Structure 1
Amino acid sequence: MLTARCCATKIDSDLSKASRKGNLPAVASILAKGWADVNCRAGGGKTPVMLAAYGGHRDVVELLMSKGANVSLVDVVGNNLLHNACLGGDMKTVKFVLALNVVDIDARNSWLQRAVDLARFWRYPLMVDLLMSRGTK
C-alpha cells in the first residue's frame, strides 16, 4: 500500500507532467535544480519513470534512471516499469527496459497479470513474441 502523497510539491508535479509528456529538456532542467523527488508519485501511484515508460519516452526513462529513479517500485495496482512500458505499446521502450535486466519479467500485478498478459490483451503481438523469446513463462 502506498503511503506517500501524490506529487507532494509543485516541482514534483512538474516532473511527473514533463515525464508523462516526454519533454526531455524540461525533465533535465527540473532534475538539474535538485529539488524534485525523482521517485515522487503521481495519479495511480506512478513514478516519473513509469509515466515516461508508459508514454514510450525511452530517452526520458534513461535520464530518470541515471538520476536515481527506483525501477523496483510498483504503482497502486502492482504494475512495475515493464508493465507500464507494455501498456504504452512502444516496442523500443520495452526493449530498453528488458535490456536493463532490472525487473522480473514474470512479476504479476494485483490482478495477477504479467507484462506479457498486458501486451496480449492490448494486441501487441510483436511485443508478446519479444517477451516470450526473453523467457517469460
Structure 2
Amino acid sequence: MTGPAPESNEPAHDPEVLQLAAKIFELARHGDTDTVAAYVDAGVPPNLSNDKGDTLIMLAAYHGHADTVRVLLARGADPGRLNDRGQTPLAGAVFKGETEVVRALLEGGADPAEGQPSAIDTARMFEKADLLELFEAQ
C-alpha cells in the first residue's frame, strides 16, 4: 500500500518557470520596482532565491535600488536572509557603498552583525566610518 507522494520543496524545473524566475531576478537587479512589486503581488515569493541563494532583495540591494528594496520589505522579504556564501543584503550594500539602501535595510530590520563577513566587518574593512556610525546609532 502506498500513500500520497511526499511534497517536494525543490523548485519546479519547468523551463518556462525557470525563465520567468530569471526574468524576475533581472528586474530586481535592474531596479524595476513597479514590475517586481507586481510579480510579488501576483504570487511570486518575496524571498525567491536563485541558484546561489541570492534573493530578490539581495540583488536589488547589491545593485543600489533602495526603492526596490523598500517594496520588497513591505511585501515580506527577509532583510537578513543569507545567500549560499553567508552574505546578507546589508553587507552587500555596504560593500557597494549604497548608503540609501543601507538605511532602507536597517529600517526594515536588518541586523548589521549578521553574516560572514557582517555589514559591520565590511564597513570596517573598507573604512566606511559613516556607515559604522549609522550601525552604532541603531
What TM-score do you get using the length of structure 1 for normalisation? 0.75
The residue that corresponds to 1:37 in the other structure is: 45
1:18-58 deviation digits (Å, cap 9, x = unpaired): 11111123313433443x33222225311001111111111
Does the Cα contact within 8 Å between 1:86 and 1:119 map onto a contact in 2?
A: yes
The 2-side partners of 1:76 and 1:4 are apart by: 16
Q: Secondary structure at the match of 2:68?
A: helix
What is the aligned length? 127
1:19 equivalent to 2:28? Answer yes
| Structure 1: tracts of 5 or more residues without a match | none
The residue that corresponds to 2:123 in the other structure is: 119
Does the Cα contact within 8 Å between 1:11 and 1:30 map onto a contact in 2?
A: no
Aligned counterpart in structure 2 of residue 60 of structure 1, from 63, 68, 76: 68
| Structure 2: tracts of 5 or more residues without a match | 1-8
What's the RMSD between the two structures over aligned residues? 2.6
> Post-superposition, which runs of at least 4 consecutive aligned residues in structure 1 deviate over 6 A?
none
The 2-side partners of 1:9 and 1:89 are apart by: 31
- The range that moved more, 50-59 or 79-88, is 79-88
What TM-score do you get using the length of structure 2 for normalisation? 0.75
- The range that moved more, 82-91 or 123-132, is 123-132
State the 1:98 CA deviation. Answer: 1.5
